């Protein structure tokens, strides 16, 4: 199959399309875009539009890159970066459902699903194999880790660590065991991740310091558990907290 651009689609001069792409009727791919192989853009989507940033200079040479095999459904908007030479990045094999939005300077990993009307504000990062439910909204500069399940209509204003499930407003409601099993994680890795999750979320004190202490103790040997703990060393925002910790009165989100 060769790349197909349907009648009434707009692909501006300068856009770069990989092999076997399909740009359907009324879709817009601006000159600022680089699309990998087998990307499909459905009607009325706009890829590479200007960022919704009042101080943006439209002459800024910034763009959008979309990885191979990604599907962009109807009315999706993906805005280009606000920084010269930079790009908003969508990984490979992602599925962006109708009316979802990816703002400027987001970095979305591989195999990510944004359900209908999921919204990412500027500078958000989303890890591989993460699912955002319909109508979920993520505040600017937040980090959503790998393998996270975000419930529909959730409001995310804090960082969400790898392999968790989050709902409502920044409420970690559990550990994404089902998702890990589907991806073939070993029993040893899942067991260690459970212990690390419980240690971080149900030990009183500053969550960043607790995670660092658990990591330094050396009890977690699998790379998955270590990656979970290392997440808390990064970022500038506070962290989504477990519901049980909130009910217990621990309000320390730092």
- Burial status of residue 74 (CB atoms within 10 A of its CB: 0-12, 13-18, 19 or more): middle
The question of whether 104 is a catalytic residue gets the answer: yes
162 catalytic? Reply is no
Residues 32, 75, 101, 104: which is the catalytic one? Answer: 104
| Helix spans in the chain (H) | 177-182, 187-201, 207-217, 223-230, 243-247
In the set 105, 128, 159, 170, the catalytic residue is 105
- Annotated catalytic, 105? yes
Distance CA 38, CA 44 (A): 18
Residues 6+ apart with CB under 8 A from 35: 15, 16, 17, 18, 21, 29, 41, 47, 65, 66
Q: Which of 122, 127, 145, 147 is catalytic?
A: 122
> At which residue do the structure tokens 């709902």 appear?
167
Number of CB atoms found within 10 A of residue 237's CB: 16
For residue 22, is it left (φ>0), alpha (ψ between -120 and 50) or beta? Answer: beta
Tell me how many degrees the CA angle 48-139-32 measures, rounded to the nearest 5: 10
Give the residue numbers annotated as catalytic, written as ranges.
104-105, 122
């Amino acid at each position: 199959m060769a790349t197909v651009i349907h009648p009434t689609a707009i692909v501006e001069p300068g856009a770069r399309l990989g092999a076997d792409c399909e740009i359907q009727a009324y879709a817009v791919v601006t000159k600022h875009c680089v699309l990998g192989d087998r990307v499909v853009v459905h009607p009325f989507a706009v890829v590479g539009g200007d960022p919704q940033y009042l101080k943006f200079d439209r002459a800024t040479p910034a763009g959008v890159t979309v990885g191979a095999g990604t599907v962009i459904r109807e009315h999706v908007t993906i805005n280009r970066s606000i920084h010269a030479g930079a790009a908003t990045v969508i990984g490979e094999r992602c599925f962006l459902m109708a009316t979802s939005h990816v703002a400027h300077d987001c970095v979305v990993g591989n195999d990510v699903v944004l359900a209908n009307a999921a919204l990412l504000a500027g500078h958000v990062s989303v890890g591989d194999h993460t699912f955002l439910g319909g109508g979920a909204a993520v505040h600017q500069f937040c980090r959503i880790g790998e393998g996270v399940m975000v419930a529909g209509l959730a409001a995310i204003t804090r960082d969400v660590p790898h392999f968790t499930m989050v709902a409502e407003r920044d409420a970690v409601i559990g550990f994404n065991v089902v998702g890990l099993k589907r991806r073939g994680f070993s029993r040893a890795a899942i067991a260690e991740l459970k212990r690390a999750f419980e240690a971080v979320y149900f030990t009183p004190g500053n969550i960043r310091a607790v995670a660092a202490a658990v990591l330094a103790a050396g009890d977690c040997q699998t790379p998955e558990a270590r990656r979970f703990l290392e997440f808390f060393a990064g970022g500038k925002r506070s962290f989504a907290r477990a519901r049980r910790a909130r009910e217990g009165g621990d309000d320390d989100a730092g």
